[in-house]
Amino acid sequence: MSNDKTSSMTYITKGSILDDPELFDAAEREVVKLKVQLFDDIRQYIESNKLNNTESAKVFDVQRHRIIDIQKGRISGFTIDYLVSMLARVGLHTLEHKAA
User: What pLDDT score was predicted for residue 49?
Assistant: 98
pLDDT recorded at residue 27: 87
Q: How far apart are CA 69 and CA 3, in angstroms?
A: 33
Q: Please write the tens of the pLDDT for every residue from 41-62.
A: 999 999 999 999 999 999 999 9
Extract the residue ranges of the chain whose pLDDT is less than 70.
1-22, 94-100
What pLDDT is attached to residue 83?
96
CATH topology of domain 5-99: 434 Repressor (Amino-terminal Domain) (1.10.260)
> Is the distance from CB of 34 to CB of 80 less than 8 angstroms?
yes
The pLDDT, as a whole number, for residue 52 is 97
Average pLDDT, the chain: 82
Which contiguous run of DSSP H or E holds residue 94? Answer: helix 94-99
The residues spanned by each domain of the chain are 5-99
pTM, to two decimals: 0.73
Q: Contact at 8 Å (CB) between 75 and 36?
A: yes
pLDDT on residue 29: 85
